[in-house]
Structure 1
Amino acid sequence: MPDPAISLADVTVRFAEKRLTFNCAIPAGAAVAVAGPSGAGKSTLFNVIAGFEKPASGSVRLFGEDMAGRDPAERPVSIVFQDNNLFAHLSAADNIGLGIDPGLRLDAAGRQAIVAALAHVGLAGYEKRLPGSLSGGERQRVALARALVR
């Protein structure tokens, strides 16, 4: 059986008031819902997988590779945050381009991927729009397009 796409084994995250432990194995291509009350650890789980939160113990493996010591940019995952994390001074295209190259050194294929991602999320023609001129839902779709190009 192939390695799961995402595997957390005895991962512990400690906070002053609580300790969270995660164990899971998610196969490639699976659709998974994570549900629970406020404070249950849903965001912490995703932050551990993405590398934004360092566990006190345990192992995180993505596609069979140990992620210990790997920065978020080195991990094969993307997260669309609730507050979308767009840079206000960058166009929609540039915000998406950050998912391809953080220095925005984009070739023709990269620029085409941005156009295709915008079309995929229903924002064709929005390349030059700044986040402040977009609705909340449109900003979320730009953030989703950034995850898609990655």
Structure 2
Amino acid sequence: MTHAGTLDLRDVTIRLRRSGVAIFDGLGLSVGPGGVTTLMGPSGSGKSTLLAFCGGSLDREAFTAQGAVLIGGERVEALPPERRRLGLLLQDPLLFPHLSVAGNLLYGLPRQRARGRSERRRIVEDALGQAGLQGYADRDPTTLSGGQRARVALLRTLLAEPRALLLDEPFSKLDAALREDVRAFVFDHARARGLPTLLVTHDEADARAAGGPVVLVER
């Protein structure tokens, strides 16, 4: 499998526009293919703001930002979000309630990857099979459990063929019985695809499960 390459942040500085206070000042880090780097810190410390900068959704009225984001050596910080190909998973899976499970997955599938209806359906069924969700294609996403929704959200992200993953506390709303399984599902898929992954969390168990470097972010 071809790896997506390394995710590099170089000399990233993010400041509050009004006060000029630096949330990050000259931050640099590198996440290799299939690796997971964890940002840990209390709520309000700026972890999610860094992911927003990487993904292209930073609120420019509230923050100023400088620095480089590279994937496989290509700078992407000046590209529109859809061209950066960074997969984002949030606390809430944010599945479209008006679409079936299959419809949600097809939303992420690039049109050039499968043009025929039967081929697209096969890809969806294969993806669901990988997640232990055979036969769920026509289900209403509101009928799924929290763990099932989390799996479908990850599958939709992976079908979009991202070059890296940004995880913004995607396990925080799962109960303890589900968290371990969903964490393993996410990290195993990221490693299998060689995707560099940046995880934001305040839970030490998440960091231990990720198994990579931990960057502490203070308020």
Judge same fold: TM > 0.5, yes or no: yes
Q: Counterpart in 1 of 2:76? A: 67
The CA deviation at 1:40 is 2.2
The TM-score, its normalising length taken from structure 2, stands at 0.59
The TM-score, its normalising length taken from structure 1, stands at 0.82
Deviations 1:10-32 (A, max 9, x none): 22223356432232112222232
CA gap of 1:109–1:5, structure 2 versus 1, over 3 A, is farther
Q: What RMSD, in angstroms, separates the aligned Cα atoms of the two structures?
A: 2.2
Identify unmatched segments of 5+ residues in structure 2. Answer: 161-219
Q: Counterpart in 2 of 1:144? A: 154
Cα separation, 1, equivalents of 2:121 and 2:79: 28
Within 5 Å, which residues of 2 pair with 1:1-150?
A: 5-15=6-16, 16=18, 18-21=21-24, 22-53=27-58, 56-101=65-110, 106-107=115-116, 108-150=118-160
Residue type matched to 1:112 in 2?
R
> Structure 1 residues 72-81 or 8-17, which shifts more?
8-17
CA gap of 1:111–1:73, structure 2 versus 1, over 3 A, is farther
> Structure 1 residues 65-74 or 48-57, which shifts more?
48-57
Is residue 54–residue 77 contact of structure 2 (8 Å, CA) maintained in 1? no
Cα separation, 1, equivalents of 2:95 and 2:22: 31
Tell me which protein shows more strand as a share of its residues: 2
Name the % identity. 37
Cα separation, 1, equivalents of 2:132 and 2:89: 17
The CA deviation at 1:129 is 1.1
Tell me which protein shows more helix as a share of its residues: 2
SS where residue 123 of structure 1 aligns? coil
Cα separation, 2, equivalents of 1:111 and 1:97: 8
Cα separation, 2, equivalents of 1:140 and 1:106: 27
Cα separation, 2, equivalents of 1:69 and 1:9: 14
Identify unmatched segments of 5+ residues in structure 1. Answer: none
The size of the alignment, in residue pairs, is 145
